[in-house]
Chains A and B, each alone.
Chain A
């Protein structure tokens, strides 16, 4: 018997959410005033949740390590947000969005959650427009949409290349409304260091004021972790530099199960690494593949300038291998094939770790003004970073870590395995299975915050006592002491390596062995190397300064300490899953044509890992059931 209770409501899939909303326990308005909710993270998930819960009358506190809630990593999302509005009359529907998301996730997501996501997707757009989010419009004044990878309808709304920014500013304004009314108190430059669990129930958090270094405890009847993804475990990723796993990992160590940690999406079109000093990778929108053609020289080691390589000596490998989808194959397929080409020595650029994305033919066909109108700002950005003009020379691109589908395991109500502790947005595991479709993360973050948690949190809060635990309770003091000891221990090591030196190395172990493709032998080897890296960290890290003031190296070290534990679980998870699914490509489990092969008999489950007190993990399986959905093998040939 599994200890996991996903609390999926009874009834047909399409009626579950409506029925559940009708049955959820309610908290009376005068009682909401007696309940304190702590929201950690102010990205799309956190800001939308905080604002909506405050409107309902709960007392909300928000926490972010940024100097303003508006700077959360969500701000960087470019492409757009999906919604089943069917504004195009092209046959879109809640069912289609549901099905695309489930299929895109390679049948490793919980279908009840995904259906709910599709159901509320339209409300999100209504809400955002009412807040003043300036989505792109047609000349007639109505909203316009674009199409995105993996779907046959046009359902993605966008605000130029800055959709995340505009959505976050909308959610931030809703948050500000709550702060203005006094219902929300906002803590900025304040980082969660640990969660406080008393008698198996989450009762609060310990945070550090990043300016003064002071530790402080906060009580909450419920705690919401909206702390984003963990792609920076790889050091290099498209994530913002400060994105980290600490909140989720601390919760995991205190009893929250961590699901599918090895499900990591690698985005195929990023600007390649240019040198050892590289600090992060920049995404170039996927939309470029609509007009750009991907190629490498046919001969390995061909170092000629791309414009001097004649047509017959170029291999447009995606068009060759996947004639039906060509350059528009899904993200994982494109990433994998770029890696294969480079492994064969056909990679281009100084490092040999890049492929070309060429607009020559599109410019010839449509004319430069059309291409400029479509991609002008992306071309400018590329030029700013690389000093090369993509109108004249093909772009160089390479895959990079982008999004983590794995995260804290949550039930249908978004509650983790610790009662009172919830996880929203990229921090949870629930909706994207083994692969996320473009423009679905923004949708999920806002769905969780605006339209799911305001209902589902009632189920928990209606059943608990309103008493508050004072923060001088020994449980808070113990967690504070532990957090403080860890910081002091880090400072006392005074070894010979900087935090970044170790992070680069540990990240590379993950990238080389638990990245675009994986296999048993490499994963097993990586496990040893990775553990050694963690030991090295605790012996050799060197941090200047003290814990009593603003100390960015200490912040980074404290986050890396958690990444170095998470990474081991990522490798374990990748090792245990002896199938290929979505972004998890195990080289042993491929078809003769080189495609991913799932094993639905053995692995149709979400792997939820429980941390054991004596180290190591127990695996719990949430078996996934599908109602009238055929588990097809994906094929893009």
Chain B
């Protein structure tokens, strides 16, 4: 389909550094092809800014295919913008109208401090995984891959949970800045598989403890995370994690006796 060209204004959060004050700046852009991706529109803006001798807008991105989880920003009040199941890098300008005013902000959450403009520090996600998001199997000690058959539906569920890209939209979308969807996706992925059974109790406890230590908020079941998740990670993972957590806590009591 041939491209249309639109004129837009973008209001972008500019913040020089983590301790600096931030504010919105508004820029206008002419002749934006509707075939452009949202990040390509930001590229064009950045070229324009540099030509005017101004610093370009800093934003994280890499694959631009919706899989690395680098890009993350609020677009017109929604995490990753208006299109369902779509990361910011996969959003296209045809979603917007000629003359539209687009507001772009970084993720806002206590556990994700802004580093510059739209770039935030999501290191907390790594630390949660480091607390226990793994199977303790050393290289070279694995049995043949087909030794343990796994029913296809179970494997498929595990895959769906493992499809999380770690972008942080769920946290940004939640009014409590809770990380439950992200953490529960990882917990579910391993809890569903036979390989993850041995450590499942320790895993869920360690990951939840780290999540709390990072300053993420509580889950109050609003479902905003699922609605904004670009990978369709299901709320049912949270229910599963709660069950896992409870049973881990209960069995701990039994051992404690």
Contact = CB atoms under 8 A, between A and B. Distances in A.
Contact of B122 (A67, A131, A174): A67
A242 B60 CA distance: 10
B40 interface: yes
A274 B189 contact: no
Given A127-B137, A277-B40, 8 more contacts: A48-B139, A123-B140, A132-B193, A142-B149, A174-B134, A274-B33, A451-B139, A544-B53
A129 B195 CA distance: 8
The 9 closest A-B pairs by CB, nearest first: A141-B149, A130-B142, A173-B134, A134-B159, A129-B145, A126-B142, A52-B139, A240-B62, A177-B134
A134 B162 contact: yes
A116 B133 CA distance: 31
Interface in B5-64: 16-18, 33, 35-37, 39-40, 43-44, 47, 49-51, 53-56, 58, 60-64
Nearest to B59: A552
Contacts of A127: 137, 139-140, 142
A544 B162 contact: no
B163 A132 contact: no
Contact of B58 (A142, A278, A384, A550): A550
19 contacts: A67-B70, A76-B68, A131-B134, A131-B195, A134-B155, A137-B149, A137-B150, A160-B159, A176-B133, A177-B134, A180-B134, A188-B123, A211-B115, A240-B64, A279-B43, A387-B1, A498-B50, A498-B51, A552-B56
Contacts of A275: 3, 33, 35-36
B212 interface: no
A85 B190 CA distance: 24
A125 interface: yes
B158 to A, nearest CB: 5
Contacts of B53: 544
A282 B35 CA distance: 14
Contact of A134 (B2, B130, B158): B158
A130 B133 contact: no
Given A131-B137, A350-B2, A385 B115 contact: no
A164 B163 CA distance: 11
Given A68-B166, A141-B149, A277-B40, A132 B129 contact: no
A494 to B, nearest CB: 9
Nearest to A181: B136
Nearest to A133: B162
B196 to A, nearest CB: 6
Nearest to A179: B130
Interface in B111-163: 115-116, 119, 121-123, 125-126, 129-146, 148-152, 155-156, 158-159, 162-163
Nearest to A279: B40
Interface in A48-84: 48, 51-52, 55, 66-71, 73, 75-76
* Most B Cβ at <10 Å: residue of A69, A174, A188, A277: A277
Interface in B185-205: 189-190, 193, 195-196
A137 B194 CA distance: 14
A509 to B, nearest CB: 20
A71 B69 contact: yes
A132 B196 contact: yes
Contacts of A211: 18, 115-116, 121
A131 B135 contact: yes
A47 to B, nearest CB: 11
A71 B152 contact: no
B175 interface: no
B67 A76 contact: yes
A139 interface: yes
A500 B152 contact: no
Contacts of A136: 155
The bracket for how many chain A residues form the interface is 35 or more
A52 B140 CA distance: 9
B135 A67 contact: no
A334 to B, nearest CB: 21
B50 A553 contact: yes
A550 B116 contact: yes
A544 B54 contact: yes
B94 interface: yes
Interface of B: 1-3, 16-18, 33, 35-37, 39-40, 43-44, 47, 49-51, 53-56, 58, 60-65, 67-70, 86, 90, 92, 94, 115-116, 119, 121-123, 125-126, 129-146, 148-152, 155-156, 158-159, 162-163, 165-166, 189-190, 193, 195-196
A177 B158 CA distance: 20
Nearest to B120: A67
A211 B60 CA distance: 12
Contacts of B68: 66, 71, 73, 75-76, 240
A448 to B, nearest CB: 12
A501 B135 CA distance: 46
A451 B67 contact: no
A132 B190 contact: yes
Contacts of B166: 68, 70-71
Interface in A269-324: 274-275, 277-280, 282
A143 B145 contact: yes
Contacts of B145: 85, 125-126, 128-130, 135, 143
Contact of B47 (A130, A141, A498): A498
A500 B159 CA distance: 38
A492 interface: no
Contacts of B195: 129-132
A500 B140 contact: no
Contacts of A128: 145
B162 A166 contact: yes
B152 A67 contact: no
A76 B61 CA distance: 13
Nearest to A157: B145
B152 A138 contact: yes
Interface in A135-174: 135-143, 159-160, 162, 164-166, 169, 172-174
Contacts of B129: 172-173, 176
B64 A274 contact: no
A66 B67 contact: no
A70 B163 CA distance: 13
A73 B119 CA distance: 19
Contacts of A48: 139
B126 A186 contact: yes
* Most B Cβ at <10 Å: residue of A139, A160, A165: A165
A164 B64 CA distance: 15
B92 A66 contact: no
A160 B232 CA distance: 15
A542 interface: yes
Contact of B40 (A140, A278, A544): A278
A549 B116 contact: yes
Nearest to B56: A553
B165 to A, nearest CB: 8
B152 to A, nearest CB: 5
